[in-house]
């Protein structure tokens, strides 16, 4: 349950939604037992994650919806009445550009033989880890942009 709350909160933060804004959550890929457990904890989810209700769903997330995946179960929140889709798309495009620039900078550093020879091992490891993190972030942002 903690992971579900965290994923819903993260989706809200990503889309700059107030914690006070209640969202209906549709659940895709959950077993009947998982859905029943979520329903039984609705009061908790409402208090800590701003969930207005839980319902099952078969279709994947579409434009204007945010999705979070926890243990193979997709939690889909309809954002269409809560955010300006045009502004959200512009924000995502700016974030993709920013992350791409940072990734290009790190790739250039790691591609420079002089830097690689002279830099301490911990700096190289940090830059390589950051590069992996940026690749993951860009992948997520591009997926969000595709549905925005």
Residue pLDDT, tens place only, 62-115? 777 888 888 888 899 988 777 777 887 888 899 899 999 999 999 999 999 999
- Identify whether the C-beta of residue 106 lies closer than 8 Å to the C-beta of residue 138: no
Looking up residue 124, the CATH number of its domain turns out to be 1.10.287
pLDDT at 14: 82
Looking up residue 73, the CATH number of its domain turns out to be 3.30.2320
The answer, yes or no, to whether residue 147 has pLDDT greater than 70, is no
Q: Calculate mean pLDDT across residues 15-34.
A: 88
pLDDT band at 25 (very low <50, low <70, confident <90, very high): very high
Give yes or no: residues 90 and 138 share one domain.
yes
Find, among 142, 143, 147, 7, the residue nearest to 74 by Cα.
7
Give yes or no: residues 67 and 101 share one domain.
no
As to burial, measured by CB atoms within 10 angstroms (0-12 exposed, 13-18 middle, 19+ buried), residue 34 is middle
- The residue range of the domain holding 143 is 85-147
* Domain boundary residue, one of 38, 53, 78: 78
Mean pLDDT (the chain, rounded): 89
């Amino acid at each position: 349950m903690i992971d579900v709350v965290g994923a819903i909160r993260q989706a809200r933060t990503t889309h700059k939604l107030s914690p006070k804004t209640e969202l209906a959550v549709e659940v895709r890929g959950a077993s009947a037992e998982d859905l029943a457990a979520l329903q039984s904890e609705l009061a908790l989810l409402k208090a800590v994650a701003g969930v207005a209700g839980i319902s099952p769903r078969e279709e994947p997330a579409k434009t204007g919806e945010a999705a979070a995946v926890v243990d193979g179960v997709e939690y889909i929140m309809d954002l269409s009445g809560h955010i300006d889709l045009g502004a959200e798309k512009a924000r995502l495009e700016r974030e993709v550009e920013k992350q791409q620039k940072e990734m290009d900078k790190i790739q250039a550093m790691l591609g420079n033989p002089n830097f690689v020879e002279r830099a301490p091992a911990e700096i190289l490891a940090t830059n390589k880890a950051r590069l992996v993190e940026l690749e993951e972030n860009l992948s997520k942002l591009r997926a969000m942009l595709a549905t925005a």
